[in-house]
Amino acid sequence: MSILITGIAGFVGVNLAQAMLDKGLRVCGVDNLSRGNLSNMEGLLSHPLFSFRQIDMTEPNALLDACKAFFVQEALTECWHLAANSDIPAGVSNPEVDLKDTFMTTHCLLDVMKQLGMKKLAFASSSAIYGDHGSTALVEHMGPLQPISNYGAMKLASEAAISAAAESFLDKAWIFRFPNVVGVPATHGVMLDFVRKLKQTPERLQVLGDGSQQKGYLHVEELVDAMLFIHDCATEKRAIYNIGADDKGVTVKFIAEETVRAARPNAHIEYGLGNRGWVGDVPRFVYSIEKLKQLGWFPKLNSAQAVQKALAQIVAQEQDN
């Protein structure tokens, strides 16, 4: 089997690609390297079953030409679409960012898949599609879906476009609603932000918001494991699953304290005001993963353990940089 991964040079992309190669699959990847980079793919580029093209998926014909080149060796049987804008505040100040990188990447991919007869699509969606429901557990069929960021809005629009494509030409769509995912190579996120801030100002750590924001965290190794499990086991034509830890999450205060302990034990933590880090930040969300558990997948780590494991990895990553 031969698969296409978009956004392959990013955090989740390289972890997913490695897992696919470990299964003996041929992996073809595209990325414009706007947020991912070549060094993330160091372990992949020399693999005999790996091919990469640097393209912007939204440029006319760029994706079609790349896929045609991949097809020369062997037809691509399915696509895993991870390319998106991962910087939520950037999309709040400039909605064009999410229109292009979060939605148009999906639109252009569907167009190319239709032209080339590719009929299976796995999509990295997000908890951001739900909006702010406080401490009500988020279940897959709940509504109304009212995202509070352009990122969430364009993820929801992507889900809708994929659902429509499943009516016309796709045989199968997997929609994974990710929680906050942590691990390496970290390209963004609260822990990377904290570790880098402490490198710049070792004596203090400034936190966006009052630290009370509380969310679930999943380690990327478990995320990849869950995606592959859903891919293999879910029977619905449109298989929509929350993926997450089985708990109420941890606070930003917990993460700040753990980061200080791991990176700069004497640093002083300074909190901001209000329970949001930025406009579009959902201050608290709780996932229901009952559907995933019913399918037979259970997380091994809780949110606190995932954060602690990832923190050690991110501190090591940043020491090397």
**Interface ranges with ligand NAD (CB under 6 A):** 7, 9-13, 30-36, 56-58, 82-84, 86, 101, 105, 124, 126, 178, 180-181, 187-188
Which residue lies nearer to ligand NAD by CB, 122 or 267? Answer: 122
> Closest distance between ligand NAD and the C-beta of residue 266, in Å?
29
Which residue lies nearer to ligand NAD by CB, 86 or 242? Answer: 86
> Closest distance between ligand NAD and the C-beta of residue 37, in Å?
8
The answer to whether 227 touches 122, Cβ cutoff 8 Å, is: yes
> Closest distance between ligand NAD and the C-beta of residue 23, in Å?
20
Pairing relationship of beta strands 26-31 and 78-81 according to DSSP bridges: unpaired
The beta strand positions in the chain, using DSSP E, are 2-6, 26-31, 50-54, 78-81, 120-126, 137-138, 172-178, 180-182, 204-207, 214-215, 217-219, 238-242, 250-251, 268-271, 286-287
Distance CA 237, CA 252 (A): 37
> Closest distance between ligand NAD and the C-beta of residue 287, in Å?
12
Query: Measured between alpha carbons, how far is residue 242 from residues 40, 110, 287, 297 in Å?
Result: 27, 23, 7, 11
Which residue lies nearest ligand NAD, judged by its C-beta?
10
> Closest distance between ligand NAD and the C-beta of residue 219, in Å?
11
Which residue lies nearer to ligand NAD by CB, 2 or 127? Answer: 127
Distance CA 245, CA 290 (A): 11
> Closest distance between ligand NAD and the C-beta of residue 40, in Å?
8
Which residue lies nearer to ligand NAD by CB, 31 or 78? Answer: 31
Residue with tokens 């109420």, as numbered in its chain = 248
Task: Count Cβ atoms below 10 Å from residue 93 Cβ, excluding itself.
Answer: 12
Which residue lies nearer to ligand NAD by CB, 183 or 209? Answer: 183
Which residue lies nearer to ligand NAD by CB, 65 or 204? Answer: 65
For residue 307, what are the contacts with CB-CB under 8 A and spacing of at least 6?
182, 191, 217, 250, 254, 255, 258
